[in-house]
Amino acid sequence: MKKIMVVYGTRPEAIKLWSVIKALRERSVDVCVVSTGQHLGLLNQTLDALEMTPDVSEMVMQNDQTPSQVVQAVMPIIDREIDLYGPDVVVVQGDAQTAVAAAMSAFLKRVPVAHVEAGLRTYDMSSPFPEEMNRRLISIVARLHFAPTGRASANLVHGGVPQENVYVTGNTEIDALKYAMEECDPERTIPDTGMKVVVATVHRRENQGEGVLEICAALKSLAERNKNIQIVVPVHPNPRVGTLVRQYLDKVPRVKLLDPLDCVSMFYLLKDAYMVITDSGGLQESTAALHVPIVVARTTTERPERIESGGGILVPPKRSLIFDAADRLLNDEEWYEQCADADNPYGDGDAGEQIAEVLGADGAVANRN
């Protein structure tokens, strides 16, 4: 029986690997799930919401840790577990430090790597930092590449990955969203007041400091200008972000600050939203499936399909630009409807099944070198 190790350490990784793990286990594949605990609180919240239980659970998270410290902590764990379990393939997701560390560990032990959500690119090594470097490094060492879109597949092939090693599957974020919408019924996060709900999130490393303040200033102006909206902000626990957000927005009328939400509650909050303002990557995907217009407050995005589909707008994290885009969505009904009707480029919610079918097939990966 093929032995597959799946590694995650952050909330997004767990959300996006949930359907892959589920589909592998339904095929009776021998699976070992390793959680590094890179994001401990947020990660545990997600594991509880999706009823995920790792086989190996570590806790590498430390206060104010650097990306290199995470890599240094994760690699020995993966080295050890590869020696103990002897996997035929190691599966990683995305571009976090856990993913790049696990991929490098597997490569150095001559174990094939499978990369879920492969091929995302901004072609700007400083944005997002260090994620753009991480995903490029993983693409170099990976054997199997599961791209969410045709554009991501083309990026990989353009970068030298053999076409036969690339599979276009859709994005596994949509799998988790579909499950939540069909199988879960959480308590409502906010009461229905009849007002338009604007959901806002901020966390990205390159926005920390001035970028966070610019986004907060835009939200404040938006609330002051539009009396018929309620802005809901789940505040990221990173003190470099959360402290500024609470200081700037805590007393602003029609702005409600929330503690971090589990992924199921967040999906339902997005479903009820009129629009979203964010620097998140995953929200660009889930809002596409929910047909909720989005303002992406970043200088670049590795998910240009969302913008090109007409479902939203990409603006630098500057208060005037964010305000102008969001205010237009709130007050230009024709443009809003065009954005809401945009196609979802991220699949139908069966990406995990497609990935598991490839991973479980005989000959999907070569034996160790």
Task: Tell me the percentage of the chain whose pLDDT exceeds 70.
Answer: 98
Task: Tell me the percentage of the chain whose pLDDT exceeds 90.
Answer: 82
Backbone φ and ψ of 88, nearest 5°: -85, -20
Section 245-253 average pLDDT: 93
Say yes or no to pLDDT of 369 above 50. no
pLDDT given for residue 61 in this prediction = 83
Say yes or no to pLDDT of 204 above 70. yes
Backbone φ and ψ of 158, nearest 5°: -60, -30
**Tens digits of residue pLDDT in 206-219:** 878 899 999 999 99
pLDDT given for residue 368 in this prediction = 38
Section 126-141 average pLDDT: 96
Cα 366 to chain centroid distance, Å, stands at 29
Active site residues: 95, 117, 131, 203, 205, 236
Q: What is the mean pLDDT of the chain?
A: 93
Q: Sorting pLDDT into bands at 50, 70 and 90, what band is 40? A: confident
pLDDT given for residue 367 in this prediction = 41
Compute the C-alpha angle 248/253/258, nearest 5°. 65
Segment among 220-229, 235-244, 334-343 with least mean pLDDT: 235-244
Total residue count of the chain as it appears in this document: 369
Section 190-200 average pLDDT: 90
Domains of the chain by range and CATH? 3-170+349-360 (3.40.50.2000), 196-340 (3.40.50.2000)
Cα dist. 260→45, 48, 64, 203, 219 in Å? 9, 14, 18, 12, 18
Backbone φ and ψ of 331, nearest 5°: -120, -10
pLDDT given for residue 206 in this prediction = 84
